[in-house]
Structure 1
Amino acid sequence: MRVVTHSGTFHADDVFASAILRAALGEFDFIRTRDQETIASADIVFDVGGVYDPSTGRYDHHMRDLPRREDGTPYSSVGLVWRDYGRNALERFVPGIEEGALDAVWQDIDTGIILSIDLADNGISSASPGHLALLIETFNPTWDSKQTYDEAFTEASELASGILQRAGRQAYAEAKAMAFVLGAARGGKSPQVIVLDRKLPWEKAVFEGGLTDALFVIYPNEDSTAWYCRTIPPEPNSFGQRLTLPEAWRGLQEEAFSKAAGIPDGVFCHPGGFICGARSQASVIELAERAIAAGSQADAV
């Protein structure tokens, strides 16, 4: 199989597209050129050639009637390649990924890294210093460099591959965490308290999984020597709480906190009232239940 893109200066879209195709298709003959005969004879062409036709493996976007997403956002070559080859690439980027999580992980990367590059490449949003697109462009040889553009492109593509691997594994871990949290919430004793037997990301499950009744999340620290009762904010990235821990607990530690909260093994309650801890799961569940009861009493007054 022969895959072709343009020679010379490269950008994030063609670099990432090459990494995706390499993961999806394995080994192939890769050529960077602007020679029309070579382009015409290739099996897959991206970011060059003036043709967009997935049925013939043509993925250029430099034309007036360029391909767009459903919402009208224009694709760059990486968006087009990710759309058609991303799921196959993920099977290599994330070995062992479950089929049921494939679409969620694909979507996560598409709306993050891939869309960001599409927008920057098409001038829809400016690439601020530190943007991934600009970081990739720094791999282009300087005027006084002896490195060829093809050598530099290979280095940039290896970096892109590593980023996609990491992003895929992060997204897969998040997808598994979401399923785990939703299962714990639905199988729990109370819809107001989510009890987890390990520490993992829970926010996405709460806000995207419709857990509107949940007030507290219970989970252990990394070595299970302590357990935490964490309040849930009203919306993502908020510093507020759906239900704040009782005022009488806040800022107390160890014996003082244990006495105020009525448990034998309290560790602390943060002065901000958003998290408290104890040495056993049973105690932090009791803390959540007492906080809910206290909140109900306050509402009734």
Structure 2
Amino acid sequence: MTEYTPIGLGPGTEPVAALTHSGNFHADETLGYVILHYALAPHGDLRGRVLGEGPGDRLTFTRSRVPGRIQAADIVFDVGGVYDPAAGRYDHHMKNKPLREDGTPYSAAGLLWKDYGRAAIGNMLAEPVDDAMAAAIWQAVDKALILPVDQDDNGVAKMGRLSLAEIVSTCGAAWDTAELHGGEEAARREMAGFADAAGIVARYLAGVVDRARASLKAADRVLGAFARAEDKRILVLETGMPAEKVIFERDLPVVYVVSPAGGGQWNVKAVPPARGEFGQRVPLPEGWGGLEGRALAEISGVGDAVFAHPARFICGAGSREGALAMARRALAIGAPRVP
């Protein structure tokens, strides 16, 4: 816990002036602005605030390198040469830069996430969650999104092509914009590009937060279903949800996941040998691969069998009972029973 109250998160609703640098922009400061938006003024105009358009709200935002403007702002991030969160200063470019516990340097977004992330999460979720769930969501988003931005911005590890960092960069004006269109138009395009990037990052962050919430909810349900399973190799889920993450993190001996697939159909999906890999711990029977309907029903012995993929990683039936029967018969053919 911090020993200070981050600026703007106290009981008052006083205006807050935030500032980052002008010029070329990256995922770091764009994400930092989005975090402050959700934490302090989530109902404000994210884009209009950048462009100085639309109705004002509690949060004002400036992009500048002018020392006087930097000094006057309440919250300054990614510029200014100072990390003093109690004073609203969140730069990370100094020699003694702030580091994570594992030694990874923070970006400005990472520093703001530390102080404002939980407030942002609270304002982003459609339904309130308890403190434990909020902390778990914060940690999941920190690992999935904030840490990679920290690493990319500090030259530790690139996020790579088609990453959020790359998408943000493409929102910026090309290097010769001033040469082709003049300085005033180049400045306008730079600001519009930041506004565009902020909209993309805001939508992405909202999606990451909601997926983290849903993933934690799924983990509870998967573990509950596993506890109830008669054969621990077959996991039956009454609703479609991600299960692979929990299976590998908890080292569960699940071989097949049975779940509804829409239209009354139920599928059996084989678990891979390692998370994210192709292949299966136990493939579906070789004779099933590529068959459909009556042919599959005859060879599998399951009357409502619908299909089996040629790669033998998924098959389906017209009912929960049929899919469960296919999973059991596949195991009887392909794997010994787990004690």
TM-score when scaled to structure 1?
0.89
On the 8 A contact 2:282/2:335 being kept in 1, the answer is no
The residue number in structure 2 matching 1:7 is 22
Matches of 2:318 and 2:96 in 1, distance apart? 63
On the 8 A contact 2:272/2:279 being kept in 1, the answer is yes
For residues 123 and 233 of structure 1, do their structure 2 counterparts lie closer, same or farther at Cα, with a shift above 3 Å needed?
Answer: same
The residue number in structure 2 matching 1:276 is 315
Matches of 2:192 and 2:259 in 1, distance apart? 48
Q: Of 187, 200, 203, which residue of structure 1 is paired with 2:244?
A: 203
On the 8 A contact 1:45/1:60 being kept in 2, the answer is yes
Report deviation, 1:59.
0.7
Q: Of 196, 215, 230, which residue of structure 1 is paired with 2:255?
A: 215
Matches of 2:67 and 2:331 in 1, distance apart? 70
For residues 247 and 130 of structure 1, do their structure 2 counterparts lie closer, same or farther at Cα, with a shift above 3 Å needed?
Answer: closer
Q: Of 123, 129, 138, which residue of structure 2 is paired with 1:106?
A: 138
Matches of 1:283 and 1:81 in 2, distance apart? 51
Gapped regions of structure 2 (runs ≥ 5)? 1-15, 42-57
Q: Of 12, 18, 39, which residue of structure 1 is paired with 2:33?
A: 18
The residue number in structure 1 matching 2:274 is 235
Kindly provide the amino acid, as one letter, of the partner of residue 123 in structure 1.
G
The residue number in structure 2 matching 1:36 is 67
Does residue 132 in structure 1 map to residue 157 in structure 2? no
Kindly provide the amino acid, as one letter, of the partner of residue 161 in structure 1.
A
* Identical aligned residues as a percent: 40
Q: Give secondary structure in 1 for the equivalent of 2:30.
A: helix
The residue number in structure 2 matching 1:96 is 127
Matches of 2:157 and 2:226 in 1, distance apart? 39
Farther-moved stretch of structure 1 (3-12 vs 278-287): 3-12
Deviations 1:215-265 (A, max 9, x none): 1110111222x1111111121112222222223333332222222222221
Deviations 1:158-215 (A, max 9, x none): 322122112222222222222222221112222111111122221112112331x211
Q: Give secondary structure in 2 for the equivalent of 1:176.
A: helix
The residue number in structure 2 matching 1:293 is 332
Q: Give secondary structure in 2 for the equivalent of 1:227.
A: strand
Matches of 1:260 and 1:134 in 2, distance apart? 50
Deviations 1:41-83 (A, max 9, x none): 4322111111112222211001111111111111110111112
Does residue 160 in structure 1 map to residue 191 in structure 2? no
On the 8 A contact 1:216/1:288 being kept in 2, the answer is yes
For residues 244 and 263 of structure 1, do their structure 2 counterparts lie closer, same or farther at Cα, with a shift above 3 Å needed?
Answer: same
Report deviation, 1:150.
4.2
Does residue 60 in structure 1 map to residue 91 in structure 2? yes
Q: Of 286, 294, 303, which residue of structure 2 is paired with 1:255?
A: 294
Report deviation, 1:117.
2.1
- Please provide the CA RMSD for this pair: 2.4
Gapped regions of structure 1 (runs ≥ 5)? none
Kindly provide the amino acid, as one letter, of the partner of residue 296 in structure 2.
F
Matches of 1:133 and 1:161 in 2, distance apart? 13
On the 8 A contact 1:97/1:172 being kept in 2, the answer is no
Matches of 2:19 and 2:336 in 1, distance apart? 69
State the number of aligned residues. Answer: 297
